[in-house]
Structure 1
Amino acid sequence: MSPAPLVHLAYPWRGASERLIRIGDGGPAILFIAPLFEEANRIRHFMIEAMRGVAAKGYACFLPDLPGTLESATPLETLDWDNWTGAIGAVVAAIGKPRLTASFRTGCLLDGWAQSDARWRLAPQDGASVMRELIRIRMAANRENSIVTTMAEIDAEAMDGVFEVAGYRLSPKLTRGLKAAQVEPSGTVRLVRLESDIQPADLTITAQPLWRRSEPDHDPVFCQSVIDDISYWASLCAAG
Structure 2
Amino acid sequence: CAGRTDSGVHATAQVVHFDTPIDRGVKAWELGVNSLLPPTIRVTKAIVVDDKFHARFSAVYRRYNYILHSRPIASALVSDLVTTQRRTLNVDGMNEAAQFLLGEQDFTSFRAAGCQSKTANRCVIDACFSQRGEFLVFSICANAFLQHMVRNIMGSMLAVGGGAKTPQWIEGLLAAKDRSLAAITAPPQGLYLVEVGYPDDLLSPAMLVKPPVLASHN
TM-score range, shorter chain: under 0.3
TM-score normalised according to structure 2 size: 0.28
Greater helix fraction, Structure 1 or Structure 2: 1
Bigger RCO of structures 1 and 2 (CA < 8 A, at least 6 apart): 2
